[in-house]
Amino acid sequence: MNWQRHVRCGEFEGRKVVIKTNKRIKGFRDFILIFAYVLTSVLMLHPSSPHPLGTILLHNESVAMRKTLRKIDILSPTLLYISKRVLIEEFVEGGNLYSLFEKKNDLSLASKAGLITARLHSAKLVFLDNKAENYLINAQRQLVRTDLSFIMRDDSIFSRSMDIASFLASIMDLGRFEYRILHNTYIKAYENETGGSCPYLYIILRNILALGFSANRANTFMNLLSS
Ligand SMILES: Nc1ncnc2c1ncn2[C@@H]1O[C@H](COP(=O)(O)OP(=O)(O)O)[C@@H](O)[C@H]1O
Ligand SMILES: [Mg+2]
């Protein structure tokens, strides 16, 4: 279920597009997310400043932010229209990465996701909402990053760990073999690109987030126990 926005396909100026309309509870839901983020950072003894809500969320989805990402080789769909309530962007035909992983273990795409996360971190930015569902696959089998609202300028250990944790947690309800190999591939690509090891809080944060993201509790528990 999609509880942030209504997301549907449509047509705009003769091209296939995706139209995202904020639900009424979106503001409240964003607040809860940020509150949970700050609370977790305090509980983990890494207090982090809150993400500014309001117009910054709109700025994050803007053409300017998409250009910033493009400069560090992170693709995002072309933005066609944006207002406080509605966002229209280019339709990316290959579906999202989580749905693809449910069908097959595509290691090259897991590696690309690790690379994208690393490039973002090297530019001192974080996604915060770095779920596999927020990566789309285009006709050239490139990864395209959508849902940009929570990008933030930050390079703390906590926020970088949160990015890695949210990606891994979002695929932790896949089968045990599938999860393990995708996990290792993603981490390896991240570490190769940054030239260092992953920020150390990611495993514990992953375990906390996994329980919230899971669509298959049995698989998630199995993966929690075995890693
Ligand atoms: N530009 C796009 N092209 C194709 N599918 C998309 C596009 N944007 C979003 N989607 C699909 O809609 C889902 C939800 O979109 P998203 O922007 O992440 O909304 P939310 O803010 O509710 O998480 C994505 O996981 C993806 O499957
Ligand atoms: Mg999303």
Given pLDDT bands bounded at 50, 70 and 90, which one contains residue 32?
Answer: confident
Q: Would the pLDDT of 50 be above 80?
A: no
**pLDDT for the residue 1:** 44
**pLDDT for the residue 56:** 72
- Ligand 1 pocket by C-beta < 6 Å: which residues? 2, 4-5, 7, 18, 20, 77, 89-92, 96, 133-134, 136, 146-147
Nearest ligand to the C-alpha of residue 135?
1
**Ramachandran angles phi, psi of 152, nearest 5°:** -145, 145
Q: What is the mean pLDDT of residues 10-30?
A: 87
Given pLDDT bands bounded at 50, 70 and 90, which one contains residue 53?
Answer: low
CA of 89, closest atom in ligand 1: 1
For 152-198, the pLDDT digits (tens) are 999 999 999 999 999 999 999 999 999 999 999 999 999 999 999 99
Helix axes 107-122, 157-170, angle to 10 degrees: 160
Q: How far is the CA of 76 from the centre of ligand 1 (A)?
A: 11
Q: Would the pLDDT of 3 be above 60?
A: no
**pLDDT for the residue 44:** 87
Contact between residue 146 and residue 89 where contact means Cβ atoms under 8 Å apart: yes
Q: Would the pLDDT of 104 be above 80?
A: yes
Q: Domain holding 135: CATH number?
A: 1.10.510.10
Domain hosting residue 95, numbered range = 5-226
**pLDDT for the residue 4:** 67
Contact between residue 181 and residue 227 where contact means Cβ atoms under 8 Å apart: no
**pLDDT for the residue 16:** 97
What proportion of the chain, given as a percentage, has pLDDT over 70?
Answer: 95
Q: Which two tokens stand for residue 44?
A: 């983990």
CA of 91, closest atom in ligand 1: 3
Among 16, 96, 130, the mutation site with the greatest number of ligand 1 atoms within 8 A of its Cβ is 96
Q: CA–CA separation, 109 vs 162, rounded Å?
A: 20
Given pLDDT bands bounded at 50, 70 and 90, which one contains residue 54?
Answer: low
Q: CA–CA separation, 216 vs 83, rounded Å?
A: 36
Q: How many domains does the chain have?
A: 1
